[in-house]
């Protein structure tokens, strides 16, 4: 009798939750300022049962939710312990700095961006070299398509839309503006480091974009592990990291997109008709994906062999990153990824249930003209409802 009562009460709880969750999400979506917008929402439980769906298979602009796919593609390609090497070569009386796809050189991971070249300066000194002619930057690991053609013209020049090349320095930006020629910027910074280190530079910095073999490699600077770079990419939604890590998988956007498509369809089992990506970070309005596809990827990320990794890489409420001031009461249970561009807000993630198991959700709003804060409040209300279910 008691066992039957327990089963009845448990079933009543589930049925009640199923009834109240859609109502709670619908109420949040009906905010007056968001009328006329397009919502795409998919919520699933561990078994794949759909708990709520609205336009779950509609292709929508994901903004930075796109980074979920780029990060998993790069990790699948390279492995979490991969490091990207920036190399120093001698070529006669010239020095060459060759880029290997490291987005962090002289950036947020450097205690002092001007000292990042100390390894190179010390290597030259160790060779007894006190003067050089030209300082050459070699970014030829990537093709010359440094700006995705799908990026809006109005974004160009901003630090969040910096050009993408195999050699980066200080995240290819200065004073909030993008650097037009990242490789030349890195060469100029290296020239200054050489002079500061007592090595005379008689020539000028310039860029060589044609792949070639230089005479002698004498030193390398290795990036942090890919796990650290991917965490920066996902937690704080850093665009350049996303673009460079994605493009590094093949050296060209076309090659990276093809590799990603094979990975997503064959390994993650995302239907090919449910996504189209044309950059790495989600800045392009031509990026399209369905909420259901995002949930499929989140479920793949949260499978036991990968769960610990992706829980450490995704944003945690209340901590550093784009969720530091959002859904903070869910800090111990939620890991997610935000997305924000003009007229688009998104939050997708994984919630650990209070009674065991997980909930997977993707919430995207497109074509709204309200303040972004209004959209995020509505989304956060939905996430709390999912967490309470």
pLDDT at residue 67 above 60?
A: yes
Same domain (yes/no): 155, 276: no
pLDDT tens-digit readout, 342-381: 999 999 999 999 888 999 999 999 999 999 999 999 999 9
Number of structural domains, the chain? 2
Same domain, 164 and 214: yes
pLDDT tens string 99-118: 999 999 998 766 576 689 99
Report the half-sphere exposure of 127 (CA within 13 A, side-chain side).
19
What's 141's domain CATH number?
Answer: 3.50.80.20
Same domain, yes or no: 67 and 99: no
Is residue 157 included in any domain, yes or no? yes
Work out the angle at residue 108's Cα, subtended by the Cα atoms of residues 107 and 109, and round it to the nearest 5 degrees. Answer: 95
Tell me, what DSSP letter sits at residue 102? B
The CA distance from 315 to 309, in Å, is: 12
Q: List 50's β-bridge partners, or say none.
A: 44
Q: Which two tokens stand for residue 31?
A: 């905010």
291 and 357 belong to one structural domain: yes
Strand partners, 87: 98, 220
List alpha helices for 174-275, DSSP H.
Answer: 182-196, 226-235, 239-247, 253-263
Alpha carbon distance 279, 151 (integer Å): 8
Average pLDDT value for the chain = 94
Asked which of 224, 245, 266 is the last residue of a domain, the reply is 224
Q: What are phi and psi of 209, to 5 degrees?
A: -100, -5
Q: Which two tokens stand for residue 157?
A: 């020049």
Range of the domain at 191: 85-224
Q: For the segment 289-344, what is each residue's pLDDT rounded down to a tens digit?
A: 999 999 999 999 999 999 999 999 999 999 989 999 999 999 999 999 999 999 99
Q: How far is CA 159 from CA 154, 163, 195, 344, in A?
A: 12, 9, 28, 20
**Burial (0-12, 13-18, 19+ Cβ within 10 Å), 205:** buried
Q: Which of 195, 224, 253 is the last residue of a domain?
A: 224
243 plus 338 within the same structural domain: yes
Answer whether residue 17 shows pLDDT above 50: no
Please tell me the predicted confidence (pLDDT) of residue 113: 65
How far is Cα of residue 60 from the mean position of the Cα atoms in its chain? 18
Q: How far apart are CA 89 and CA 67, in angstroms?
A: 33
Same-domain status, 43 and 140? no
Looking at the fold, whether 328 and 244 belong to one and the same domain comes out as yes
Same-domain check for residues 167 and 69: no
Looking at the structure, tell me whether residues 378 and 252 fall in a common domain: yes
């Amino acid at each position: 009798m008691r066992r039957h009562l327990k089963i009845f009460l448990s079933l009543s709880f589930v049925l009640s939750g199923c009834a109240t969750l859609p109502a709670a999400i619908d109420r949040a979506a009906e905010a007056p300022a968001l009328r006329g917008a397009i919502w795409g929402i998919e919520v699933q439980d561990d078994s794949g049962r759909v708990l709520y769906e609205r336009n779950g298979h509609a292709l929508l602009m994901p903004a930075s939710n796109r980074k979920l796919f780029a990060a998993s593609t790069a990790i699948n390609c390279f492995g979490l312990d991969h490091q990207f090497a920036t190399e120093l070569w001698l070529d006669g009386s010239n020095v060459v700095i060759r880029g290997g796809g490291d987005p962090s050189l002289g950036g947020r991971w450097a205690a002092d961006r001007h000292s990042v070249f100390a390894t190179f300066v010390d290597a030259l000194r160790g060779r007894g070299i006190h003067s050089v002619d030209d300082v050459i930057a070699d970014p030829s690991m990537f093709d010359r398509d440094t700006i995705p053609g799908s990026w809006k013209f109005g974004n160009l020049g901003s630090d969040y839309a910096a050009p993408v090349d195999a050699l980066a320095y200080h995240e290819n930006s200065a004073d909030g503006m993008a650097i037009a020629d990242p490789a030349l910027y890195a060469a100029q910074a290296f020239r200054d480091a050489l002079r500061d280190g007592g090595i005379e530079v008689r020539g000028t910095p310039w860029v060589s974009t044609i792949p070639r073999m230089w005479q002698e490699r004498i030193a390398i600077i290795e990036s942090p592990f890919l796990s650290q770079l991917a965490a920066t990419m996902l937690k704080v939604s850093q665009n350049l990291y996303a673009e460079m890590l994605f493009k590094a998988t093949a050296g060209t956007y076309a090659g990276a997109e093809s590799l990603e498509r094979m990975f997503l369809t064959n390994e993650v089992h995302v239907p090919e008709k449910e996504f189209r990506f044309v950059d790495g970070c989600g800045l392009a309005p031509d990026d399209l994906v369905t909420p259901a596809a995002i949930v499929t990827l989140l479920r793949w990320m949260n499978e036991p062999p990968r769960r610990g990794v992706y829980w450490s890489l995704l944003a945690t409420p209340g901590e550093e990153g784009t969720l530091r001031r959002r859904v903070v009461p869910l800090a111990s249970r939620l890991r997610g990824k935000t997305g924000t561009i003009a007229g688009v807000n998104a939050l997708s993630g994984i919630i650990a249930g209070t009674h065991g198991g997980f909930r997977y959700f993707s919430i995207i709003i497109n074509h709204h003209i309200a303040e972004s804060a209004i959209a995020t409040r509505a989304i956060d209300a939905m996430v709390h409802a999912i967490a309470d279910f």
